[in-house]
Structure 1
Amino acid sequence: MKNIFCVLLLSMVHPVLAQTKLEKALTNLEDNYEQEKVYLLTDKSQYAAGDKIWFKSFVFDGYNRSALSTTLFVELYDADKKLIDWKTTLLTNGEGSGDFQLKEDLPEQVYFIRAYTPYMTNFNEDFQIVKTLPVYNPKSKESLVISKSSDWSAKAFPEGGTFINGMPTKFAVRVSGNTSLPESWSGKVIDIQNPKTPVATFKSFDKNVASFTLTPASGKKYQAIIQDNAGKSQTIDLPQAADSGLNVEVSSSKEGVKYTLKGVNLKQQLQGYKIVGIINNHLAYRANINHLTNEASSLIPTKVSNGANAVLQLAIFDEQDNLVAKRLCFIKPGNLKVEKAEIVGQSLKPIPRAFNSIDLSPESNFKNYTVLVSEDNSSQNTEEENLLSGLWLTGDFTSKIDSPAQYFSKTTNTEALDALLISETWKRFDWNAVLNGSAPAIKNNSQQFLSYRVKPIKNNALLVNSTVNLVLRAGKGDPMINQFQTDQNGYVYLNNINTDEPLNVSLFVNAEKDKEASTDNLYVTVEPLVNPTPFKGNFPTTKYTLVKSGENKTLPPAIARAINTQKNIKKKESADIQIQEVALVGKKKDPKEELDKQLSTGMFSSVNSTVFDFVNENQNAGGSNNILDWLQGRAAGLTFQRNNSGVNVPYIRGQQAKLYLDEVQTDPAMISNLPINNIAMVKIIKGAGLIGDAVAIYTMKGNMKSKSTEKETPNTNSAIIKGYDRPSEFPIEMIDDDAPEKIENDTRETLYWNPNLFDSDYVPPRIKFFNNDSAKQYKVLIISFDEYDNILYDQQVLK
């Protein structure tokens, strides 16, 4: 929550007026600790090799969608921290989307998706989201199984971090582990001198936490004994109680946060103590106790967060501005400010492959929606994490929390959430560092879109303090001429570039006196200034382990269905090709066929191929970086993934395709450096004889000339800017029963995915999809934000 300042007075409390050490620290906090967090939604929680991962990202600055960043890097890693693929995602109002195509030969293991903005790299890497995704492959020699090990440990945390003799103190007990936590556990507290008689008992609220209250006696030492449902136990020491200090008691309700402070054996009692409330590194509440008293209490109203839900960090400082206690609590834990979708109409039919629709209200304050519709399977587990838990919990806390979404469900136990927050620490800043004047070094400032540094060269010399002309052309758009003045180092800067098409940058300079203008001896390079950052940390531990596969490998039912869906997609693509071939029967040979016959030998001849003719047809390829970039999205079943060198590698039906140049096998790097104007023909071959899946590229021969009407620019004076990755379009068409290869069993799990469903001109936003062959009811997730960043989060089962 931004820019919230509220001074509330106790009966003996007055506002802080002097510029104290604490005041300076609060100014430091306001000015230097703005931070972002990311929540990443995927269409499924587990995948089969060969699947496509659809994702939607939400970037927040505190509890509002972030306006700081417009660029998000989303990276896919294997378990060995090898980068498999990455996307540069455009953020609009803090939201962005994209997809990853998984290879069919990916080994079965846990994979990780990392997401972060360039601005987030100024801070602790632990706050960058790393999402765990198990990927299964029936051909792998190893299988993922959920670990049966429950190697856990426990800790006890006194409320406020203080434990004073004679003062009732609430404790949170927190269980953590690298794998699965026990289903339930309980415990007791004993006096070491009299262990047979428990002084307190407790039972877990959930897998994470429990709580108890204890009033320590002077000179006593206490231990907690925790035992899980399997019989494993652990004994931990409670902290030694002090004879003096501050006791803190906090409770949250729908009216606000009530706190009570009690001083024990303090020289000046609570005089000079300060109470500070922080929300998202911003001051929300502040008070100062100026009179002699041993007890003070007050209610912090919900208006400190504008009535919204939030985590409030309460910090108490003594008369010397030393931090003496701190406590995290949740504002309005039992009253979540979350809106539900206004559904004004629906037509749902539990009939195989039937058309279904859901209409949302056009009069709602929410205009842009993220929608996911899946088949509801009652055997599926409840979601472990969601947008709400990412926004209010896991986005700000780096410790592992089991099933954090449970704390914001309809059946949530507010005592459990409170105990969890007692056991947590706010690590986005350190109070001692802030009090000492320390501030994070901001090396990557937030900036709009992408930026590049252009280095123009003429006759092998930098053009320093010179006027140059850059012609910019995005995709097939019209070229734009821009005049720039290079700086003292010979650079030109292109800032605020927002494009998801290849941007061609061509260099021209004015002719010297009495000389003709020429592009000879001109050279230009473009260096991106907004770049991904290598991952240095460790991936989170998971509940999965790999074991050697047996002869008859068993797959989870959802994975078996996903693999069948992949087969259906291949059948449909094959059927489309057959239909195209049938349509060509009886036609006269055209120039493309003649070119194919001229360039292809028998081994490379196939009826199951797609040909692109650059001699007789204008393919408008001048705006692409290379032929591999141009081929993206132009042939059914052909996809691309970038390798570690940033070069696109072709895949046909999930398998890496062979590359041929004039029928000699080559590699993507060679092809990426081939000028497009030298290419006569490209042939996409699918499963043909000895060649198999292949992309064959043929160069111009003899007197061949490109049909393109575009003026080819020599490569030496031009370069290509890649820009943002454009999201793929989710297919919603029904699988055709009349195709030559009939789809016998439609097993799609994700029936509808739309990360950007718009409301336009008071027409109801419509969710429309075709059923699979088994769904009787549908799990529908709808997410939206209004102009004030109020949340709509609605997950329900419709039938």
Structure 2
Amino acid sequence: MISRKILLIISLLFSFGFAASAQQDSIPLNTLIQKTAKFQSSYPIEKVYLHLDKPYYAVGDTIWFKAYVTVEKHQPSGLSGVVYVDVINSQDSVMENLRLPVKNGFANGNITLTSETYKQGPYRIRAYTNWMRNFDADYFYDHTINVGNAIDNQVNTFISYKSSAKKGTVKVDADILYKDPTNAPYANKKVSWQLVRNGDAITKGSGRTDDKGHLLVDIPENESATITSSSLVTAIDMGERKSVTNSFSLRGAVTAYDVQFFPESGQLTNGIRSKIAFKAINSKGLGTDVKGTVTDDQGTVMASFTSAHLGMGVFVLTPESGKTYTANVIFANGSTSTYKLPRVQAMGINLAVFSPDADNLTVKISANELFLQRKQNKSFYLVGQSGGVIYYAAQTVLQNAAYTANIPKNKFPTGIVQFTLFSSGGYALCERIAFVQHNDQLNLALRPDKPSYTTRQNVRIAVSAKNSTAPVEGSFSVAVLDDTSVPTNEDSESTILSNLLLTSDLKGYIEKPNYYFNKPDQEKQDNLDILMLTQGYRRFSYEDILADKNPPIFIAPEQGIEVSGILRTTTGLPVGKGSIRLLIPDRNFSAETVTDLSGNFKFSNVVVMDTSKITLSARNNVNGKNMVISVNGELYQKLTRNPNQPDEIVNIDSAMRPYLDNSRRQYQNSRVLKEVVVKSTKFEKKPSHNDFGTFAGLPGQADHEISGDQLKDCPLLINCLSTMAFGLTYVDNNFYITRDYNAGKKVPVQIYVGSMPVDVNFLTSMTGAEVASVEIFLKDGVSGLNRMNQTNGVLIINKKVIKKEKITLAQLQALIPKQNVVNFAIQGYRKSKEFYMPKYDVTKQGALGVDLRNTIYWNPKVITDKNGVASFSFFNSDARGTYRVIIEGLDAEGDLGRQVMHIQVK
């Protein structure tokens, strides 16, 4: 496929109105094309997109999703056979890590938001393959969801802020409204509060709510950076020695704005009329409307501007060398600010892109007089690439100040196109990204069998998938939502179109990404072009490609789970041609392999579920009792800051009220009162750090504790601790205190099993069933453990007490681990549940209680046949109104499709 593209590209050279050059170039254009094609074929771009059943959730819900793993032009990927899905909380701790098998580019799974693990707040869902981990994590699938809690929440809150600046510091006042689940205010309640940053209280205070449930918190003056990186933690007194704690991020508490200016092609050049895009954001990172003027250093107004969409806009300026330009900005609240525009270059060449009509792009190259004088008769290259593949290339000799080329859009696929102007030496002079939006999405049609329905009635929907008029075989996922309980802003959604075509190729936050694909028109296309002017595209570097500087590959594409290691003698020498046997007892599976001359062994495509254990044995070798098996550890993806923080909701109780009200009714309807039998109990002392003199100086109570019940089903302790150790971050086979790690202090936590200090590798041999509790100390008190071990923080694993019994010598020998036999658990594939679909008999509608589902139906495996046809059916709930039916997917050629339909339920 790549070779055909190269031939097509070369055939296009010199055909777009550029003059041919007869001179010898230092780097021929063909070399640039061939090296880029070689790079693309050696380092294909793989992407992951998750179709989630809903835009937000509540504690107790299940997240249903389908993973689309694509390569090149969005074809289903055969490169990777495994996809990873992480759930990360707002403290940048991994809550869950799923490993799913990928078949023909697709996988499906689910995540249960249990009340023991999940609390109300924002979470990230991140997805990637091992191959993607070789490259920038900014291109992973990374989506923010907000989770409410209607079951355990006794207190609903709404917070608003007022701020004012005072001589380098900021003063913030917070107004918090407290209400009960019935929307009645908590009046005259005592509330204590503290300002917390990196786990430490900066200041504290207390107050009482008024008769309408409001509490005014007067936060003392402090530096803006301190305030915005802190949280306001409150505890409202509920009586009977009970209180409810709420935490509010102050990231958006300070009223502040920022405006950035982006000259087209990257620079302002003397005498060249240029477009300048701008982007204005507030302290939450969201776009804010602005208007203003641009003046030169004499105060003359040179341009005026007004934002067009989400704080973004564009204006035109012809800059002059030696002058400075200032933007005078007026924000929506009436405040003003000034910003210096980038410095004007005395000599340069610019690249501009226009879209004069639906079928063509116009590329204009403009050189100023000084550049023309110095570079006249020099060769230049113009290259247009999308997804790492060059679709357009031309060269010219610089003879005039301006060149224009009209390029048919049909030469590029739908998506981002990067135009780069090169010198003949291969140096990139300027770049511009544009978006080509063809009307080439799959034509998906949903045809319900009736014009409207009643509650609990069976709905049958036929699916038709066509590429233009030709039927296609494709793989799709379908979600049906109750519009009343799950109101949705379609512009803000992450869809298969907005992700694979836009956000997966851009760094940074994109606000309301589906706006550009939801019923697109000329205005949205114009705003999309402004977005292209304000965002960066850096999938790869031409400079590195031309220098044959390839990215380091430290993880190969993963087709399945691998178990590998090395076999040595007890003296440390590798054992070549040694026999290794692998056993998975609960699957009644076994396999054998032979080590290479260096003692290395590997088992490929091992099917291990998340609760399975593995046994490796070298007993069958001659002198096998003197052999030692070492197993290679697994790599874990590093954590990065949330790129989509602006999508986090502070006031979840109000923003998600319809959904949470319905969730509360579901819970109340499903509760069954059970008989309670009170029996006398005998207090049993639990193992703790107080049992060991080593920990005498530690605080009496740990900062965080994980109970044995939470870990009882954990097959591999290290995997579970890496996600459940609250306050700690697990990176590079070490635990760190999260607040210190984020502040740049990368000193690991000391781990103990009982009173024995161990490293992380020791935990790979332990299961959760062995653990009575885990205690986490963020400070070591007066114990001196941090100083003694050169560590920061203490993690203590208390093992369950084994009842002492007399055993025989044979039983004792059986307990002693054998070095030539290794028992361990690895992260297996997560078992996927089936979405529950009730089946109703319309003659017995009242037999099963009230049905309040908000996800009415979920199906990740809707497959159209060779005629492009499929169908699915489901039963409605008891909710009346409109249901939203969403179908997304793609065919084998990478053609994408999405369709939304509404049905009426009366």
TM-score band, normalised by the shorter chain? 0.7 to 0.9
Provide the residue aligned with 2:223 in structure 1: none
Q: How does 1:610-621 map to 2 (within 5 A)?
A: none
Instruction: Report the Cα distance in structure 1 between the residues aligned to 2:648 and 2:580, rounded to whole angstroms.
Output: 57
Specify the code of the residue in structure 2 equivalent to 1:36: E
Cα 1:156/1:539, change in 2 over 3 Å? closer
308, 319, 323: which one pairs with 1:205? 308
Contact 2:716 2:826 (8 Å CA) reproduced: no
Instruction: Report the Cα distance in structure 1 between the residues aligned to 2:78 and 2:536, rounded to whole angstroms.
Output: 27
Instruction: Report the Cα distance in structure 1 between the residues aligned to 2:480 and 2:636, rounded to whole angstroms.
Output: 32
Deviations 1:589-632 (A, max 9, x none): xxxxxxxxxxxx9989xxxxxxxxxxxxxxxxxxxxxxxxxxxx
Q: How does 1:508-523 map to 2 (within 5 A)?
A: 510=620
Cα 1:532/1:98, change in 2 over 3 Å? farther
Provide the residue aligned with 1:316 in structure 2: 421
Specify the code of the residue in structure 2 equivalent to 1:439: N
Provide the residue aligned with 1:441 in structure 2: 552
Provide the residue aligned with 2:893 in structure 1: 788
SS at match of 1:488: coil
Specify the code of the residue in structure 1 equivalent to 2:646: T
Matched, 1:173 2:278: yes
Contact 2:26 2:425 (8 Å CA) reproduced: no
Deviations 1:627-679 (A, max 9, x none): xxxxxxxxxxx996778623699x9xxxxxxxxxxxxxxxx9677469xxxxx
Q: How does 1:650-799 map to 2 (within 5 A)?
A: 672=769, 716=821, 723-734=828-839, 744-759=849-864, 765-799=870-904
516, 522, 525: which one pairs with 1:414? 525
Instruction: Report the Cα distance in structure 2 between the residues aligned to 1:310 and 1:553, rounded to whole angstroms.
Output: 37
Provide the residue aligned with 1:611 in structure 2: none
Instruction: Report the Cα distance in structure 1 between the residues aligned to 2:392 and 2:435, rounded to whole angstroms.
Output: 14
91, 109, 112: which one pairs with 2:121? 109
Deviations 1:115-140 (A, max 9, x none): 22112222222222332122223256
Cα 1:300/1:449, change in 2 over 3 Å? farther
Unaligned runs of 5+ in 1: 514-518, 579-600, 605-637, 652-667, 675-695, 703-713
Specify the code of the residue in structure 2 equivalent to 1:410: K
Instruction: Report the Cα distance in structure 2 between the residues aligned to 1:136 and 1:310, rounded to whole angstroms.
Output: 35
Provide the residue aligned with 1:389 in structure 2: 498
Cα 1:347/1:183, change in 2 over 3 Å? farther
Specify the code of the residue in structure 2 equivalent to 1:382: E
Instruction: Report the Cα distance in structure 1 between the residues aligned to 2:655 and 2:536, rounded to whole angstroms.
Output: 42
Contact 1:354 1:770 (8 Å CA) reproduced: yes
Cα 1:648/1:379, change in 2 over 3 Å? closer
Shift of 1:758: 3.0
Shift of 1:387: 1.7
Specify the code of the residue in structure 2 equivalent to 1:42: L
The more displaced of 760-769 and 110-119 is 760-769
Instruction: Report the Cα distance in structure 1 between the residues aligned to 2:89 and 2:840, rounded to whole angstroms.
Output: 33
Contact 2:349 2:366 (8 Å CA) reproduced: yes
Instruction: Report the Cα distance in structure 2 between the residues aligned to 1:347 and 1:493, rounded to whole angstroms.
Output: 57
Instruction: Report the Cα distance in structure 2 between the residues aligned to 1:132 and 1:142, rounded to whole angstroms.
Output: 20
384, 399, 402: which one pairs with 1:295? 402
Provide the residue aligned with 1:556 in structure 2: 657
Deviations 1:54-78 (A, max 9, x none): 2222233343243322222111121
Shift of 1:417: 0.8
The more displaced of 57-66 and 462-471 is 462-471
Provide the residue aligned with 1:495 in structure 2: 604
Q: How does 1:136-535 map to 2 (within 5 A)?
A: 136-137=148-149, 138-139=153-154, 141-142=245-246, 151-179=256-284, 181=286, 184-195=289-300, 198-217=301-320, 219-252=322-355, 253-265=357-369, 266-267=372-373, 268-269=375-376, 271-290=378-397, 292-305=399-412, 308-331=413-436, 333=437, 335-347=438-450, 349-361=452-464, 364-377=471-484, 379-384=487-492, 385-412=494-521, 413-454=524-565, 464-468=575-579, 470=581, 472=583, 476=587, 479=589, 481-482=591-592, 484-498=593-607, 500=609, 502=612, 504-505=614-615, 507=617, 510=620, 526-527=631-632, 531-535=635-639
Cα 1:671/1:188, change in 2 over 3 Å? closer
Cα 1:11/1:221, change in 2 over 3 Å? same
Cα 1:217/1:291, change in 2 over 3 Å? closer
Provide the residue aligned with 1:96 in structure 2: 107
Instruction: Report the Cα distance in structure 2 between the residues aligned to 1:557 and 1:220, rounded to whole angstroms.
Output: 56
Instruction: Report the Cα distance in structure 2 between the residues aligned to 1:561 and 1:294, rounded to whole angstroms.
Output: 65
Instruction: Report the Cα distance in structure 2 between the residues aligned to 1:114 and 1:723, rounded to whole angstroms.
Output: 18
Contact 1:150 1:181 (8 Å CA) reproduced: no
Unaligned runs of 5+ in 2: 155-243, 682-710, 725-764, 772-799, 807-817
Instruction: Report the Cα distance in structure 2 between the residues aligned to 1:143 and 1:717, rounded to whole angstroms.
Output: 45
Instruction: Report the Cα distance in structure 2 between the residues aligned to 1:673 and 1:639, rounded to whole angstroms.
Output: 8
Cα 1:59/1:512, change in 2 over 3 Å? closer
SS at match of 1:211: strand
Matched, 1:127 2:145: no
43, 47, 50: which one pairs with 1:37? 47
Specify the code of the residue in structure 2 equivalent to 1:86: N
Shift of 1:365: 0.7
5, 14, 24: which one pairs with 2:20? 14
Shift of 1:371: 0.9
Contact 1:118 1:446 (8 Å CA) reproduced: yes
Q: TM-score, normalised by structure 1?
A: 0.74
Cα 1:149/1:782, change in 2 over 3 Å? farther
Contact 1:118 1:532 (8 Å CA) reproduced: no
Shift of 1:275: 0.8
Cα 1:432/1:158, change in 2 over 3 Å? same
Shift of 1:503: 7.2
Provide the residue aligned with 2:719 in structure 1: 646
Cα 1:521/1:132, change in 2 over 3 Å? same
Cα 1:670/1:452, change in 2 over 3 Å? closer
Contact 2:281 2:288 (8 Å CA) reproduced: no
CA RMSD of aligned residues (A): 4.4
Cα 1:275/1:180, change in 2 over 3 Å? closer
Contact 2:719 2:827 (8 Å CA) reproduced: no
SS at match of 1:193: coil
Deviations 1:528-566 (A, max 9, x none): 65x33231445542354658x9xx999622123224334
SS at match of 2:575: coil
The more displaced of 209-218 and 498-507 is 498-507
Instruction: Report the Cα distance in structure 2 between the residues aligned to 1:162 and 1:389, rounded to whole angstroms.
Output: 29
**Count of residue correspondences:** 675
Cα 1:467/1:448, change in 2 over 3 Å? same
